[in-house]
Structure formats: structure tokens, C-alpha cells
Chain A
């Protein structure tokens, strides 16, 4: 485009207005609202009072005992919830990568005609609402569900495996929910890969492992990175899986935030503050990654 027809340039600004409106209304405004709410005061029995305070952030990091009259100490509860959520989302991302990469590779190496069918099969379950799929998963793994009954009937186990209401069940739910977000971007990257390069590497006596590391990975890396971000970020904020499969007992960040807005004693400023802290963490991680990628590019 550079150096080509420049007669459209005066139109560029007005043409950008819709994009800016969309970003402003759907991305910036909500974040701004959330930021403001996180500094407000909780009203008795739900809602907010327009008094600016740092109480919500204070509640996140500092505890003064159950009734707020003891010496201030570090509040580990929420930091622990963040730690466990990051761990869960991390494990989920790793699992999705381990399963998703070979899947994407398999699909991308099929003949063009069958490829569409495979992609179609991957997306079919996602026509059904996430809520329904999560509830169904619960039916499958409950004590007297088909999984446990089946394993018991073939004599593999004596009693039902305690799956429902555990972290394992939450992990299963996350993995199942976000797997396609890993498969599709990697597929897009692998599909563009020129397999002649692999042949050339083999001709030059590169081992399969070396070919994968030195030739394939650099080409498909953007797909892998996109997949990891697309899985990790929503998994970190998930609340359906912990709520339904974890029995609303195992808090992840998402369910902690949901509880503040929909729970029986809503605390909007605190929910907003937790959201802001989560947002800052994600942004920081992405910035660090972007920097590293840029440095890599300079080399």
C-alpha cells in the first residue's frame, strides 16, 4: 500500500470514527467505570455510595482480624486465590497446548477437502451454550454418572471416584471449554507452513526434533502464542467451571468477582477492585511478552 494511491488519505480520519467508537464504548468505557467503582464505598445491602476511598484495595491486601479491630496484617486469602487461579489457568494452557498442537497439526496435514470437515467437527460442540456444556460435564462425572458407573461395572474401581466439587473437575471443565481456542490459531499457523521446508531440512540431515525446533516452531510460534493467550486469559477469569463443577466452594478469581456482584451480600467496589488487579496483572504479562518478542525480532 505504501507509495500507492494516496487520494483516500483525507478520508482516513472520518473513516476511523466507527472503530474508535466501538473501542471507546465497548472497551474503554467499561474499564473506566470499573476503575471508578473500585474507589467507591460499599452501600449497606448492595449498591455503592459516591464517597471515594481506598477501602476495596485495602481489603484485598490487608486484614485487621475478623471484626476489623486487630493490628493490620497481610491478607493472604485473595493473593492465594490469585495464585491458585494462575496455576489452574497455567495447567489448563499447558494441557491445551499438549493436546491442541498435535490436533492442529493433524488437521492441517489432511487434504484440503477433509480439513474443512475436521474443523467443522472441532467447532460443533461450541454451538451449544457454555453453561449447558458445563452442566452436562457435571452429569457425566458425578458419583452415579456414566463415567463412574461405567468404571465400576467393568470392575476398575470399587467406589465412585470423587470428581465433582474438586479442583480436578474444575480443571477438566476449563480444559474442555478452551481447547478450541488453542487448536484454531495453531491450525491457522500450521496451514501456512510450507512443508517443502521440512523436506529441505531432512535433505540436509536435520533430525525430526531439530526440524521441529529450528524450522517449524519459529514459523508457527505466532499461532502458539495467540492460542496460549486466548486460553490463559479467559481461563484465569472463568467462573462457570468453579461454580458448577467446584460446588461454589473452590474460589477462582472469576467466581470471587461474580460473588461480589451477584452474591447474597454484594460488594461492588471490592469486585471492581479485584477486576482492576486482575486486569493489571494480565496487561503486565502481555507487555512483558510484547517486549521480549520485540527484542527477539531485533536480534
Chain B
């Protein structure tokens, strides 16, 4: 229901519109000025609905909302799933003049080889942050969240996102993703159940606010969201844990049966302009996948500790898309945790 609060931001002013574009986007992820700029340049009225997890976005589109939206912004593994399910339209390089602006390392990605369906939006990491006013001890391990010190117990917010919670839990226990090993899965399940009493709440879109308001003293969070919490006055430190963290890239995809395909392509091309990509980064505080954004970035973003981890951190992992049989086991663990 929180989604409703953030969800129905009707940003369009269709009185002078020459057409429209319907965007299905994450909460708090695009600056209003950029939307206004796009509307001013093209005369296309943009409507944005928001979601707070990849899974709920997929579920909504599968539930009949495909054909209603033009673009969405799924993470890496979800792009792979949506391609496999035939939910994405493709474009040619000619239709996307700015395609060459994409940084080479993000151009030929495993989840969309050759970038036929998607363009990079932002990439970043997921781990956790701790309010250093509340707890000054060692926070280098994921144990801070899963087996917390007494100072943090009962003051932890956990993302309401199955994938991220289960992958961070697996990293903490040192077990691989998409395993079918019952012993390992049982250990993951037991560890999470033992951790749950230490947690105050589950929530993704509230992850920043609870840190800023002081409702939570620690919480799983995305690096840019944590940087925003810090910018809003919370003394929070984002951690790249020694066990590893989750790396993700959000991508703007062209949805199948998009009602305004041309406008969608214009919008995607617009976002690949370094000036505009930098505007998103300055707002969301993650990292763009577009080359040449540096001159347009705010100094605070360029040098933020959230975006510039020390060189010796344990590298992050991308989420893997498990097959149906394996996914059922993980779904069971999540249901068991949340019920």
C-alpha cells in the first residue's frame, strides 16, 4: 500500500501534449526536472507509475498490464527473464542513435547480448548501512544484519525484496546462488528465521526514510539510497561487507506491445545523452553506464564513499535467475520467513 502513496504520481500535463509516454519505473529514481526537460524538448507528456521490486513489476505486467506501458526499468537478471518470456520488443541501432554512448563494458552484457532490448539506466550495489551515532563497533561483516550486536537488535530494516535478502544471506553463509543442496538451503532458512526477531521492519521504499528518521539504526539498502540518506542528515555508513555484496544494473527496456513505441525510443535515446544520464546520477546517486558523464556530475556524487569503495573490497555478485524447480525452493524459504 506504500506503493500507492508513491505510486500514482501523475506527472503529465496533457493539455498541450503531442503524444504520451507511459513509464513503469522504480520509486524515487528519476528527477522531475529531467522529465520536464524531456516534455519540453519533445512535447510528449510523460506518465510515471512506480513499483518497489523487480518481482512485483513482473507480476503486474504479467497480470495484464503489458501493452499499457511503453518502458520499464528492470534489473539485469530480470531483463533476462523478460526476454525469455517474450515480454520485450527489440530495436535496431539505427533507431537508437545514442547507442554508441554506452560504456563498452556495459554494451555486450550477458543478460542482453548486443543491447537489442535494453539500455543502461544506473548501476550500483546492495548491502547495508549503519547509523554510526548508534553503533561505533565493527560493521565489516554481514553479521551486522543477520546476527546483529545488541545495540542494533530490533532497529534493523530489511528490504522487502526476496532476491536481495536471500542473496545477501547466502553470501553471509558462503553458499552459492541457485543451489539445490537441501542442507545449504535449510541452513539459509534457519539463519534467516533466527535473524528475523532482530529486525524491526520489512520495506524497500522506506529503506532511506527509516534511517533518516531514526526509526531504524541499520538497514539493508542500495548504495545510492544510502548516499541520499547521508545527504539528508543521517550519519550512516554504507558497508561493502567482507563476504561480498550484490551488484546490479537497472536497464530501460522497450516493452512488447508498447502503445507509444516511437516515443519510448525517443525517451531511451534521450537518457543515453551524457548530460541527461548525469542528471539521473546526480539525483539517484548511483553510477551511470554512459560514457562521458563525468563533466556533468556533482562533486559530491563523484567522490561519494558509497560510489567509490576501497580497492581491496570483496567483489560483488550479480543475481542469477534460477530455473523454476530451484526457484520454488527459494520461494518456500521467503514465504516461510515472511509468514
Contact = CB atoms under 8 A, between A and B. Distances in A.
Contacts of A144: 213-214
- B interface secondary structure, majority: helix
In this complex, the member of B59, B327, B339 whose beta carbon has the largest number of chain A beta carbons within 10 angstroms is B59
B336 A244 contact: no
A90 interface: no
A262 B201 contact: no
A35 to B, nearest CB: 19
B338 interface: yes
B: contact size bracket: 35 or more
Contacts of B201: 165, 247-249
B179 interface: no
Contacts of A67: 182, 185, 329, 332
- A interface secondary structure, majority: loop
A264 B319 CA distance: 15
A173 B271 CA distance: 43
Interface in A237-275: 239-240, 243-244, 247-249, 251, 256, 258-259, 262-267
Interface in B84-112: none
Given A240-B1, A264-B160, A46 B215 contact: no
Contacts of A262: 3, 56, 59
Nearest to A69: B182
In this complex, the member of B58, B327, B333 whose beta carbon has the largest number of chain A beta carbons within 10 angstroms is B58
Given A131-B5, A240-B1, A264 B200 contact: no
Return the 6 tightest CB-CB contacts between A and B, nearest first: A247-B201, A46-B59, A264-B55, A248-B202, A266-B59, A47-B62
Interface of A: 43-47, 66-68, 77-78, 81, 131, 135, 142-144, 162, 164-165, 239-240, 243-244, 247-249, 251, 256, 258-259, 262-267
Given A162-B154, A264-B56, 10 more contacts: A66-B186, A142-B214, A165-B201, A247-B157, A249-B199, A251-B338, A259-B338, A264-B334, A266-B59, A267-B335
Interface of B: 1-5, 53-56, 58-59, 62-63, 81, 154, 157, 160-163, 182, 185-186, 189, 196, 199-203, 213-215, 324, 327, 329, 331-336, 338-339
